[in-house]
Amino acid sequence: MTPRPSKLKRATGIALLCSGILLGALQPAAPWITAASASEPQSQQLKQTQNYTVTSAPIDALHLDPPQLPDLSGYTLAAVEAKIKRSPGGKVVVRRMLQQDALKDFIGGNERLREWVARQKGMPQAIFVEGGYVTTQDLANALPDSQFSEVEPGVYLARLPIVVAQGATLHIDKSTQELRLSQERGSFMVNDGQLFFTETKLTAWREADNGPATFRTPNEFRPFLVSWGGSELYIAASVFTSLGYNTSKSYGVSITQYTPGMQARLKRPEPTGWLIDSEFVDHWYGFYCYEAENVVIKGNTYRDNIVYGIDPHDRSHGLIIAENTVHGTRKKHGIIISREVDDSWIINNKSYDNKLSGIVIDRNSVNNLVAYNHVYGNYSDGITLYESSDNLLWGNRVLNNARHGIRLRNSVNIRLYENLVAANGLSGVYGHIKDLSNTDRNIQLDPFDTEVSMIVVGGTLAANGSGPLSIDSPLSVELYRVEMLAPSKSTGISFSGVLGDKQEEILDLMVRRQLAVLIDPVESQAELQD
């Protein structure tokens, strides 16, 4: 993992360290530009306007080596196959859903048991895989056609929920052309052991239509897959279609710890898994995890999912989200990590044509690397950080998004290195604060500070509709070696927010004198003198 950057000193104010800027239509003879020598003492360079002072500053502290990326070469179909323990053989039994730990979340509260009673037309039952290794053909051999059947060669229909118990392994391999989960009969899959999908298909199936259970309304039951605490889920070279609906733990494909009450009793380890080289289509959430560790999401396509494409959540960590293509998300974001999702990599993904942002870092998610992603054509921001400090964005291409290219809210020590941010509808980089106290936000669960700070080093900001930079009430900002090209305004490059107030002083030092620029709040200077 890239070492976590140290916190910026809160009293340093705003430092803009820039050189090598191409100013497009900026008039070189502008009256505010002077020919002062670069050796001029800082005391002579100092200019004071309103609450800030402008001077120069050293740049050595801004150097960072390119981040080291995790080795992805070991996440392959062959590596997944090598993890499968094919002996001893397991057994297949049918049990009532009641009194089963792995199913309690689906039969308690909100009259959820009624859902299965109505669909099964009796006391609900589930298929349990126990004791060892089981295949799809084993399920078909052990169960009547009314519960699990081979409807055509290599195509199977499950008409009950399927539970993989602790210590058991279920493997759906390439001999299974497709495993269908009946929507009408309330089928779904729960993994409490090890579950493998290799070179196969899993489809939520609407028997009435003889086709996938495509999305119709948020609260309509659709089959889903959930992998609980202590389990391992592996999906490789497979296609998953039309899973999930708007009910807890039933979102589509989920890797999640047990609910707090259950976990206090069961004490299961954090769940994990690999989802690699596969396709996920028309799910309520393309992927969701909660308190998971070291999950690998690599080389997949997430398309036309309803709420989110990829959504790791609460206190998950050590995740690798790499080389995925996420597009066509209908309601919200392509990729989002939210609520203390830390120490993870979001690298080399494509996220485009999503209803809101391409990539979001949210709710106190820290020490993450967002690098070399191509984020374009989204209907809100390209990359958004909400209340999430101490993150590094490196080498991303953020192009032609409807609103801001990169947006930071209530987040400090955000480092933006070597990014190309171009042709976005509003600002290239936008930093702001917002008081969320009077919203529906749970402040105890999701605390925040109304502070924003950033470092922008290298890269290009070009042809963004409202200008390259807009920063409101920043705690600190540093820029160095940033190209600013193709201004959308005929007057040339212009800054917004505090930077706009200081534009003449900043550009004087940056362009004419090729100096680093430091802007400090006057209050900070007074405090230092005391």
Q: Which tokens hold the place of 163?
A: 């539970």
Residues 314, 249: Cα–Cα separation, whole Å: 13
Neighbours of 481 (CB within 10 A): 18
> How many alpha carbons fall within 13 Å on the CB side of residue 405?
29
Residues 291, 272: Cα–Cα separation, whole Å: 9
Which residues 6+ apart lie within 8 Å of 317 measured at CB?
A: 293, 341, 342, 343, 344
In DSSP notation, 302-359 reads: EES-SSEEEEE-TT-BS-EEES-EEE--SSS-SEEEESS-BS-EEES-EEES-SS-SE
Residues 285, 222: Cα–Cα separation, whole Å: 12
| Tokens 């809100």 found at | 380
Q: Which tokens hold the place of 521?
A: 């709040």
CB 418 within 8 A of CB 64: no
Residues 256, 247: Cα–Cα separation, whole Å: 14
Q: Which tokens hold the place of 335?
A: 């990729």
Element (H, E) at 115: helix 112-120
Residues 53, 36: Cα–Cα separation, whole Å: 18
CB 474 within 8 A of CB 454: yes
Residues 209, 206: Cα–Cα separation, whole Å: 6
**Based on C-alpha coordinates, what's the Rg of the chain?**
27
175 in helix, strand or coil? coil
Element (H, E) at 505: helix 503-507
Residue spans of beta strands (DSSP E) within 114-224? 125-130, 133-135, 148-152, 155-158, 162-164, 169-172, 178-182, 189-191, 194-198, 201-206, 211-212
Q: Could you tell me the CA-to-CA distances from 69 to 277, 299, 331, 383, 408 in Å, in that order?
A: 19, 15, 31, 20, 24
Catalytic amino acids?
313
Eight-class DSSP state of 239: E
Q: Could you tell me the CA-to-CA distances from 28 to 93, 311, 469, 501 in Å, in that order?
A: 81, 48, 21, 19
